[in-house]
Structure 1
Amino acid sequence: MKRRIVYLIACILLVSFASLGLSNLSSKVEAASNDSSIDSQLSDFAKDNGLTKVDPNLIPEDKMMNFNSVEDFEKFIQKDESATLESSVVSTTTSGLSFNVLSASSSSTKTYKTTEYNATGKITAYARVTRKSSKKVSKVKIWSEQSGVIFGITYTPNDSASYYKLNSSKTGGKAYAKGTKLYGANIGGQSVGYIKHVTYTIKF
């Protein structure tokens, strides 16, 4: 009798553990299926918008945004793509005259900027341009930075890849500030991360 009771208890425990194992397996399969579905839905959109998938663990938790669906995330990216850009001159300085036996020369420096506004934050690209007395450009320094809070986006400048091109008279031109945007999102419980290489144009 005791053996039968022990046997029944063992069978019940075995069935319970098996059921629990199947439940966990089912949950993992379902989660994997959801991950695959979201990746599949974002695949074409990411390709069309120049996004490259990255490990979402690279993104700080406070930089992740929550979306109920893939469509909501796509709208967020599209809205960022259409962010307002504004260009202006930041400052102007003129150096004193430098004399030598044959001539006198001076130079002036202007800092130009292009700003992208994203609700509570912004990304600003700068070009500090030095011109000789002849008005020809002698030096250009380019950099960019993020300020304020841009939810869901982390910007990293790539100043070493930035460059400029002068016009034919070498009195002006365009600077190109390079950088990378890192997008972090939680879509329906799944974390995703994407990067996009961006270029800001500054006219001077």
Structure 2
Amino acid sequence: MKSFKGLISLALLVSMLSFGFDSFKVAAATNDEIINSEVKEVAERNDLEIVDPNLIPKDQMVDFDTVEEFEKFIKEDENVIIEADQIENNSISLFAKAKESKKLYKTIEYNGTGKIEAYARVTRKGKKVTNVVVWSEQIGIIFGITYTPNDTASYYNLNSKKTGGTAYAKGSKLYGASIQGQPVGYKKSVTYKVKF
């Protein structure tokens, strides 16, 4: 009889411990669910797309203690200083009686140790624009952000006199973050304007 009571006590102890551990797992999952819910709200407010965090190398993730810090980082990235309309002369050549010139225009977004540059190489015959090539690239390291250009979606519009216009370099920023140890990946489509 004593061994039967001991067996029941042992079974009761094991079930209590199991229940206690399950409660701990539920509490941890609830914390992750809360973070996920808050991150989804941040994504909606800031026009972000949540992506698989495994796409981002761990050494490229930025650590945050709170979701609020994470959102502040996103808003600061949107408010970086952009230096626009720098002009660099490339070449001038003569064809027939009209002068053809090429100029490179660019817009730069600075992000600490790196930058994203958007370009428009504009060819003019006389004063009229005859060709525009638009592209963009990331230069240097931008911690927590990987920029991917989408040159096939980039385009330009000319003014009515076809003497100038605006180029639109498209791409996406892939961000990696760890919020309270939980990895989060998100993507934002961006467009850089280059006036020429």
Q: Give the alignment's TM-score, normalised by structure 1.
A: 0.86
Match of 1:83 in 2: 80
Q: Of 69, 73, 76, which aligns to 1:72?
A: 69
Match of 1:175 in 2: 167
2:26 pairs with 1:34: no
Q: Of 125, 137, 155, which aligns to 1:163?
A: 155
Match of 1:115 in 2: 108
Asked if 2 retains the 8 angstrom alpha-carbon contact of 1:53 and 1:195, the reply is yes
Match of 2:144 in 1: 152
Q: Shift of the alpha carbon at 1:49?
A: 1.0
Task: List runs of 5+ in structure 1 lacking aligned partners.
Answer: none
Q: Shift of the alpha carbon at 1:61?
A: 0.8
Task: List runs of 5+ in structure 2 lacking aligned partners.
Answer: none
Q: Shift of the alpha carbon at 1:89?
A: 2.9
2:112 pairs with 1:126: no
User: Aligned AA for 1:33?
Assistant: T
Q: C-alpha distance in 2, partners of 1:120/1:9?
A: 65
2:113 pairs with 1:97: no
Q: C-alpha distance in 2, partners of 1:127/1:16?
A: 72
Q: C-alpha distance in 1, partners of 2:120/2:195?
A: 8
Q: 1:111 to 1:39 in 2, by over 3 A?
A: same
1:161 aligned counterpart, secondary structure:
coil
Q: Shift of the alpha carbon at 1:92?
A: 1.2
Match of 1:198 in 2: 190
User: Aligned AA for 1:64?
Assistant: M
User: Aligned AA for 2:43?
Assistant: A
Deviation digits for residues 50-100 of structure 1 (CA, Å, limit 9, x no counterpart)? 11111111111111111000011011001101001001434213333223x
User: Aligned AA for 2:189?
Assistant: H
Q: Shift of the alpha carbon at 1:17?
A: 5.8
Asked if 1 retains the 8 angstrom alpha-carbon contact of 2:42 and 2:71, the reply is yes
1:71 aligned counterpart, secondary structure:
helix
Deviation digits for residues 142-200 of structure 1 (CA, Å, limit 9, x no counterpart)? 11111112111111110000000000100100000000011111101211111110000
Asked if 2 retains the 8 angstrom alpha-carbon contact of 1:89 and 1:110, the reply is no
Asked if 1 retains the 8 angstrom alpha-carbon contact of 2:90 and 2:104, the reply is no
2:188 aligned counterpart, secondary structure:
strand
Tell me how many residue pairs correspond in the alignment: 196
Asked if 1 retains the 8 angstrom alpha-carbon contact of 2:61 and 2:143, the reply is yes
Identity of aligned residues (%): 54
2:178 pairs with 1:186: yes
Match of 1:46 in 2: 43
Q: 1:42 to 1:107 in 2, by over 3 A?
A: same
User: Aligned AA for 1:131?
Assistant: R
Q: Give the alignment's TM-score, normalised by structure 2.
A: 0.89
Cα-Cα RMSD = 2.3
Larger radius of gyration: 1
Q: C-alpha distance in 2, partners of 1:191/1:23?
A: 27
